[in-house]
Chain A
Amino acid sequence: MSETTKNTALFGLVFGLIVLTGFMQSWNVAVLILNMGLISAIMALGVNLQWGFAGLFNVGVMGFVALGGLAVVLTSAAPVEGAWSAGGWRIVIALLAGAGTIVGTVMVRQRMAAGRARNIATIAILVVGFFLYRGIFDPGVAAVEAINPALQGNLGGLNLPVLLAWPMGGLLAAGVAWLIGKTALGLRSDYLAIATLGIAEIIIAVMKNEDWLARGVKNVVGLDRPVPYEIDLQNSSAFINRAEGLGMDVATASSLFVKLNYSILFAVVLAIIFVMAQLALKSPWGRMMRAIRDNEVAAEAMGKDVTNRHLQIFVIGSAVCGIAGAMMTTLDGQLTPGTYNPLRYTFLIWVMVIVGGSGNNLGAVLGGFLIWFLWVQVEPMGLWLMEVITLGMAEDSGLKKHLIDSAAHMRLLTMGVILLLVLRFSPRGLIPEK
């Protein structure tokens, strides 16, 4: 079987499964899986850039996805009236003071000779800078958070079109990734993994606690949408006529129509990113990246700037994850920092990349769709399995109840088993790197 046939068959299988969901469960569920599959595929492409191309072990995907979500609020939400004059500028000045402190510390450490004087100067700048920062920052935050706390209490956004939030999500994630890369990329594989794991937790902690930014765990709901609202469609006579012409229920038709609009938008973004990733992989730049991945020492001896290339691809890969994060938040219509969980947003993406085939963009896309499909469908399958297993048990048996209640937790187990099986029997993934 040639490679193209095999790949086509694999993709055909996954889309066949999604279509089957449409027939067996409902088309709404099927299109939802498709939409999240598209987003997952983009995230997997981002991780594949870092791990597959360059061998960077980034387990902070969750952080960049969340930053993308934050960008949606900051870009598309309406500004909160009076927030900027009440304390917004104060917060900005405080953040600048904080940044200035860090820059000052770095400069002192670079300029001064090592010794006690330098250490004292470092500590002095940090302590003074910290209290200065808190001194400016705290009143500003208090003022902003006091504005209509039940509904607002944050700075709000720029009121720009929501589609613009997607590239903004990428930019925000890229900026933060640059900062992180500057400090952490010198670390070797294991350390980098732990460092990025920590950074992702910190990003989530900031988003949960800094209410002035995006309301923290109080969530921002009702974000703008790039597609029409269901209720408007249901009131439009043209749409009702068309739905009835197709013999569909208007409510179902409107929700399907909205979801399919999202699908088209997401598919366009995926196509653009995929083509760019493919071009990058085949370019001299991509070959250099893989050379660095396979043998850093040799690449460095050939005059390649390993540290800078790593930084570059770390920023690009994180930006792709940020774009996907922004798209996901737009799809949800709300930002809920409390729901970000590393198993779902970091390690699951890793499973997608490994199962699909690290180093191969097509593989990452396939992995994104396949694993997302399983992630959603394992739960009903597990429930069905448990019902079959417990068929012979008494109706009031405690074990039966426990087994059926626990079926929801089958998905983590299944993901682990899939990951281990692929690593063991097909370590290069379903569509291996060429």
Chain B
Amino acid sequence: MDFLNAIVALSNFVLIPAIAYGSQLALGALGVTLIYGILRFSNFAHGDTMAFGAMLAVLITWLLQSMGVSFGPLPTALLALPFAILGTMVLVLLTDRVVYRFYREQKAKPVILVIVSMGVMFIMNGLVRFIIGPNDQRFSDGERFIISVREFKAMTGLKEGLAIKTTQGITVVVAVICVALLFWYLNRTRTGKSMRAYSDNEDLALLSGINPERVVMYTWLIVAALATTAGVLYGLDKSFKPFVYFQLLLPIFASAIVGGLGSPLGAIAGGFVIAFSEVTITYAWKKVLKYMLPESLEPSSLVQLLSTDYKFAVSFVILIVVLLFKPTGLFKGKSV
């Protein structure tokens, strides 16, 4: 038995990737949950908003790289991020003005807004493919690893290596900063408080003189920032491919619902629940068990509960279980 090696293998293959993926999902789910809380519909275009933001970041990164700008050991994309956020903000505000506002004034049913968001999804998806094409784009540069396997082995003398990619480190740090800023904003500032009031009880908020259009505008701005950040972090960590962002919609929705739609804290918790379940259920545990069990019990198969292609199934099953047994989610969100 060799606990140290087992723990290292577990961190390398399960904990670190799941934490990074969970942070990305949490940022995405925060956007979905804010829209649901304030605008009261499930935004099917969210994945494509992320793709649009990430695409802007990719383009700006290329521009910066061609100008010879770099961010030292960190990826240049981080420098491009603020500009990408601004661009996405313009896009979502424009969408709100041209598309969603009309239905808000009509007091349309949430399901109509969902269908409208399907139209927006088509347009954004088409726009992204039109501008950058449907292919894979790599845009991360700088140092690849904070700790590489070889360094770790040399440092500790263990048999198992541990690698932390720079992008994984950045993901966690940026996500923590974003979440801290968001909660500070929601709990301490006047606009943030009016947003929460509006989400809790629309009529009461209107009676106390909150301007709904202002609340909606700030929501879109925050959502654009969160979506772009999530999109860029995911793209840095994996790679940028428009269709993958569309597919992220399912785990993101699952995270938001598992946590409780409309609850920001829930979205974060949901993101990690989904990420950890996906990674642990689709991971081949042989490597870890090899160190934990006596030699005679060593597993002959990979000990993989489900093949990695079924990761959607995992988020979906969790979603269904939560909906059946605790329909408001872990953190008491709204039900439609």
B-binding residues in A (CB < 8 A) = 55, 57, 130, 183-184, 186-191, 193-195, 197-199, 201-202, 205, 208-209, 341-343, 347, 350-351, 354, 405-406, 409-417, 419-420, 423-424, 427
Contacts and interface: CB of A to CB of B under 8 A. Distances in A.
B131 interface: yes
Given A184-B320, A190-B42, A419-B118, A409 B134 contact: yes
The 10 closest A-B pairs by CB, nearest first: A416-B122, A413-B126, A412-B126, A416-B123, A198-B316, A419-B119, A409-B129, A420-B119, A188-B336, A190-B42
23 contacts: A130-B305, A188-B335, A188-B336, A189-B110, A189-B114, A191-B336, A193-B114, A197-B250, A198-B254, A198-B319, A201-B316, A209-B309, A342-B246, A347-B122, A350-B118, A406-B130, A409-B130, A410-B126, A411-B126, A412-B122, A413-B123, A419-B118, A423-B116
B323 A191 contact: yes
Interface in B214-258: 243, 246-247, 249-250, 253-254, 257
B246 A343 contact: yes
Contact of B116 (A209, A347, A420): A420
A330 B253 CA distance: 35
Given A205-B312, A208-B309, A420-B116, A195 B320 contact: yes
Interface string B244-275: 00110110011001000000000000000000
Interface in B291-307: 305, 307
Interface of B: 41-42, 44, 99, 102, 110-112, 114-116, 118-127, 129-131, 133-134, 243, 246-247, 249-250, 253-254, 257, 305, 307, 309-310, 312-313, 315-316, 319-320, 323-324, 327, 335-336
Judged by DSSP, the binding face of A is helix
A423 B122 CA distance: 14
A406 B131 contact: yes
A429 B335 CA distance: 30
Contacts of A405: 133
Contacts of A130: 305
A342 B247 CA distance: 9
B110 A406 contact: no
A126 to B, nearest CB: 11
Contacts of A415: 122, 126
Contacts of A342: 246
B250 A209 contact: no
Contacts of B112: 423, 427
Contacts of A420: 99, 116, 119-120, 123
Contacts of B122: 343, 347, 351, 412-413, 415-416, 419
A423 B133 CA distance: 28
A199 B134 contact: no
* Most chain B CB inside 10 Å of its own CB: which residue of A186, A193, A350: A193
* Most chain B CB inside 10 Å of its own CB: which residue of A184, A191, A194, A411: A194
Judged by DSSP, the binding face of B is helix
A151 B101 CA distance: 55
A416 B246 contact: no
B41 to A, nearest CB: 7
Given A205-B309, A412-B122, A190 B41 contact: yes
A208 B312 CA distance: 13
Nearest to B124: A416
B119 A416 contact: yes
A205 B313 contact: yes
B263 to A, nearest CB: 15
B85 to A, nearest CB: 23
A188 B323 CA distance: 10
Given A201-B312, A406-B133, 19 more contacts: A190-B42, A190-B111, A190-B336, A191-B323, A193-B42, A193-B44, A194-B319, A197-B253, A198-B254, A198-B312, A209-B309, A409-B130, A410-B130, A411-B126, A413-B123, A417-B123, A419-B119, A423-B116, A424-B99
A350 B119 CA distance: 10
A197 B112 CA distance: 17
Contacts of B118: 347, 350, 419
B129 A406 contact: yes
Contacts of A186: 324
Contact of B42 (A55, A194, A201, A351): A194
A77 B122 CA distance: 37
* Most chain B CB inside 10 Å of its own CB: which residue of A411, A412, A415: A412
A409 B102 contact: no
Contacts of A412: 122-123, 125-126, 129
A218 B10 CA distance: 34
B309 A195 contact: no
Nearest to A183: B320
Given A183-B320, A201-B250, A202-B312, A209 B307 contact: yes
A194 B253 contact: yes
Contacts of A191: 257, 323, 327, 336
A57 B336 CA distance: 14
B111 A57 contact: yes
Given A198-B254, A413-B130, A57 B121 contact: no
Contacts of A350: 115, 118
A417 B124 CA distance: 10
